[in-house]
Structure 1
Amino acid sequence: MAADNPRGAMFRVIVPNQHSRVTNAELFFDLVFVFAVTQVSHTLLHHFTPLGAVHVTVLFLAVWWVWVYTAWVTNWLDPDLTPVRILIFLMMLGGLVLSTTIPTAFEGRGLWFAIAYATMQVGRTAFWLLATPRHRTAVRHNAIRILVWLSISAVLWIAGGVVEGDTRLFLWIVAVGWEYIAPAVRFWVPKLGFSSVEAWRVEGGHMAERCSLFVIIALGEAVVVNGATFAELEWNAANMIAFISALIGSIAMWWIYFHRGAEAGAELISKSVDSGRLARLAYTYLHMPIIAGIILTAVSDELVLKHPAGHSDVRTIVSTIGGPLVFLVGTILFKHAIRGFLQLSHGIGIILLLALCWFAADLSPLWLSVATTVIMIVVAVWESVSLGAAPEEEAHESASGGSA
């Protein structure tokens, strides 16, 4: 919220027991990533080979990382203040350049991708450092640590953009690996050492809402693309079933994530005295497979809508089973982080999807899609019934190691 806060400069004013809302400027910024998610899924669709999958994975990790780092910074800074808003709008410009270069990032526009990414990461962190008052020593040191790590990776990103082929891929893998390792080692730098847990404290409800909104972005992108694809097809029985299966599958994913998990995560992190550590694990790292699963499922939906008949080929099998599988792995780990136990419903869903691999080649893309959708419905209903029957006992189950 905006308020007179001379000691905190551009930082949010945190009111005890009051959730900081996600601002309109942040929502506006997130719209860029609707486009980014679409670009990632379409790039995978058109380059569905082992090498193409590696390329898209690197690009996806970059997209997620630049977004989640921005979510952290806007959790601390106040987006209702003009300088922070200007930062967000400049980040939108960088995000659009980043997104438009995704399809050809390993071809002709690699340097543009690298410059956009490095500028966003380094520029945003430098702004955060300059916006931090000198008396907030722990926060300033944290910003310096992160700026050092991101400056080193920026060199690798830009160097990769200058070269081509396997050398570019190698440098970008090193760069993204460097950035993903950084929070795990608490951004250690000489003299300053490791960052403290206190320096990572966040407004938990805001962080949970921000990540939930990214899940909505990914699911919404899938629904929009499916609708656009279906509108161009002949409306026969196979295409209609494929479209309905895709929509119900998206609804099942929404239900699995939001019905209990998102609310429980927001409540826990809002009350946690160790909110920074929980945000790093549950929202920074464990949301990656959740988003990746939704994107992979979107690829499957488009493949099935366009080619529902015949035998399922490798890319249809990998995307149709792999999407829900990666999503469930992400959600079971996320819910374990916030509840302390593994969801039995999710575990059974993972086992059923793995078992489906044995029969997938004998099924048409349409019926393979229907089968995975049914599995996701089973998971959603099972969890809802198990936890809904006695919601007041969930905390007790978590403490005693029970499962749903």
Structure 2
Amino acid sequence: MRRQSSDGLLRSGATRQRATFLELFLDLVFVFALTRISARLIADFTDGQRGVYAGLGQALLLFLALWAVWSVTVWSTSWLDPEAPVVQTVIVMTLVGSMTMAVAVPNAFGARAALFAITFVTLQIGRVVYFHVAGHGRPDPQQSIRILFWFGLSAPLWVVGGLVNDGTVRAALWTAAVLIDYTGLLLGWPTPRLGAQRLGVQMIAAEHLAERYQQFLLIALGEAIFVIGLAFSGSEFHANQTGGFVLALASTVLLWRIYFHAAGGMLDAAIDRSRNAARLATEMAFAHMVMIAGIVLTGVGFELFITEPLGHLPAVWLIAILGGPALFLAGRSALEYQVFARVSRSRAAGLLALGLLVPVTVHLAPLTAGAASAVVLLGVVTADTRRSRRQPAETPTPPF
């Protein structure tokens, strides 16, 4: 029989480190949520009704809201016992609320704005209140107060933004709300008289937390594969479209290889060896957030050069075709620093190369621009492979 901690909610040494089936079930909702965000972006790049830049900003806000829900859930289940009934109930609440938010994403800045905002606020506040009441204040009643204090600051901005009719006002209110939510998460919800304290500062299940980050990264790659398959299956299967399909699949494999090479596979060891595991794990969350946003944007680029491989290349398409991989490499560079306290030259070279390609590829076909991006990713993978052959396997040395 599994030994529980003294209060029955905190993880104990005998609690399983692997993600539970309920947690994996929750992830399926976020697979769907990422497809809705991706679909919004594809529409913004192709039909121009909202405008690319406005659409990117809106999609970013929606993505950040969904990521906040998922990341706080993961932090909680890496600190608390995910098989405790109270924690499982909170996960089910998160599943229902996240699915409601996901179905509202396509019109979240229009007819479904109120649904998205009110669901988000209800979920974020409701599950903290439920956990506090059902858990009889255990294991840390002050943490509930901290989190509710910060949610109380952002909640009116979310709700009012969802109810107003002016899209510009809504964007401004939701941007302020996101900044408040993420400031609280990053700083550990500092609260008057109580101070700040990150979730799990007492004990973090490093293996569980690392696995959950890795799983969500794979979810993002899976969403990119979904986009690739949907785009190609709806095409005429012409030779150039087939080439775009193969190129997109190859690029996805390269993204997977870059992530899991060294640092991406050593997250748990880095957290275990860190002098400040809570801070390191928090910064890893932000690094993964950037990488996942980059993968989603890269998937949009796949759709563009599969469906219109040799057509005219609007300059804004390079935001997805080159900007997506660049965003991924930026996040991966941050993760590498968090694990090894250094950044490989291949990451910096890759970012520089993608930047230098912008004035060149703007005059080329979309498929050619996609091929140039893939060559850069291949160069990073090649450099990583050569480095691993010349040097022995590294031990994580986190900077703090």
Q: State the TM-score, normalizing by the size of structure 1.
A: 0.91
> Residue by residue, what CA displacement relative to the aligned partner does 1:268-307 show, whole Å, maximum 9, x if unpaired?
113334211111112x211111011000001100111110
Per the alignment, do residues 80 and 343 of structure 1 end up closer, same or farther by CA in structure 2, a change over 3 Å counting? same
**What's 2:48 paired with?**
none
2:101–2:115 contact (8 Å) kept in structure 1: yes
**Structural RMSD (CA):** 2.1
**What's 1:294 paired with?**
295
**What's 1:39 paired with?**
36
Give 1:97 deviation, angstroms. Answer: 0.7
Tell me how far apart the structure 1 counterparts of residues 70 and 188 of structure 2 sit (CA, whole Å): 19
2:146–2:191 contact (8 Å) kept in structure 1: yes
| 2:98 is the alignment partner of 1:98 | no
Tell me how far apart the structure 1 counterparts of residues 135 and 275 of structure 2 sit (CA, whole Å): 22
Count, aligned residues = 392
Per the alignment, do residues 325 and 196 of structure 1 end up closer, same or farther by CA in structure 2, a change over 3 Å counting? closer
Per the alignment, do residues 376 and 126 of structure 1 end up closer, same or farther by CA in structure 2, a change over 3 Å counting? same
**What's 1:238 paired with?**
240
**What's 1:210 paired with?**
212
User: Match of 2:343, SS?
Assistant: coil
For 2:281, give the aligned amino acid: A
Tell me how far apart the structure 2 counterparts of residues 110 and 29 of structure 1 sit (CA, whole Å): 23
- Structure 1 window deviating more from structure 2 (198-207 vs 96-105): it is 198-207
- Structure 1 window deviating more from structure 2 (213-222 vs 89-98): it is 89-98
Trace 1:323-402 onto structure 2 (pairs within 5 A). Answer: 323-392=324-393, 394-395=394-395
**What's 1:316 paired with?**
317
**What's 1:263 paired with?**
265
**What's 2:13 paired with?**
14
Tell me how far apart the structure 2 counterparts of residues 62 and 170 of structure 1 sit (CA, whole Å): 15
Per the alignment, do residues 348 and 64 of structure 1 end up closer, same or farther by CA in structure 2, a change over 3 Å counting? same
Tell me how far apart the structure 2 counterparts of residues 179 and 346 of structure 1 sit (CA, whole Å): 30
Per the alignment, do residues 264 and 19 of structure 1 end up closer, same or farther by CA in structure 2, a change over 3 Å counting? farther
For 2:2, give the aligned amino acid: A
> Residue by residue, what CA displacement relative to the aligned partner does 1:86-140 show, whole Å, maximum 9, x if unpaired?
321221111111001111111011000001111221122223434556574xx33
- Alignment identity in percent? 33
**What's 2:221 paired with?**
219
Trace 1:78-97 onto structure 2 (pairs within 5 A). Answer: 78-97=81-100
Per the alignment, do residues 197 and 307 of structure 1 end up closer, same or farther by CA in structure 2, a change over 3 Å counting? closer
**What's 2:280 paired with?**
278
Tell me how far apart the structure 2 counterparts of residues 193 and 83 of structure 1 sit (CA, whole Å): 26
Per the alignment, do residues 353 and 200 of structure 1 end up closer, same or farther by CA in structure 2, a change over 3 Å counting? farther
Give 1:218 deviation, angstroms. Answer: 0.5
2:8–2:84 contact (8 Å) kept in structure 1: no
For 2:279, give the aligned amino acid: R
**What's 2:155 paired with?**
154
Give 1:196 deviation, angstroms. Answer: 6.7
Work out which of the residue numbers 62, 65, 87 in structure 1 matches 2:65: 62
**What's 1:23 paired with?**
20
1:9–1:133 contact (8 Å) kept in structure 2: no
> Residue by residue, what CA displacement relative to the aligned partner does 1:241-290 show, whole Å, maximum 9, x if unpaired?
100110011100000001222222221113334211111112x2111110
Per the alignment, do residues 334 and 399 of structure 1 end up closer, same or farther by CA in structure 2, a change over 3 Å counting? closer
1:44–1:53 contact (8 Å) kept in structure 2: yes
Tell me how far apart the structure 1 counterparts of residues 198 and 71 of structure 2 sit (CA, whole Å): 20
1:25–1:80 contact (8 Å) kept in structure 2: no
2:147–2:189 contact (8 Å) kept in structure 1: yes
Tell me how far apart the structure 1 counterparts of residues 230 and 330 of structure 2 sit (CA, whole Å): 29
Tell me how far apart the structure 1 counterparts of residues 150 and 309 of structure 2 sit (CA, whole Å): 47
Work out which of the residue numbers 156, 170, 173 in structure 1 matches 2:172: 170
Trace 1:115-154 onto structure 2 (pairs within 5 A). Answer: 115-130=118-133, 136=139, 139-154=140-155
Per the alignment, do residues 174 and 278 of structure 1 end up closer, same or farther by CA in structure 2, a change over 3 Å counting? same
For 1:116, give the aligned amino acid: T
In the alignment, structure 1 segments of 5+ residues that lack a partner are: none
Tell me how far apart the structure 1 counterparts of residues 71 and 273 of structure 2 sit (CA, whole Å): 21
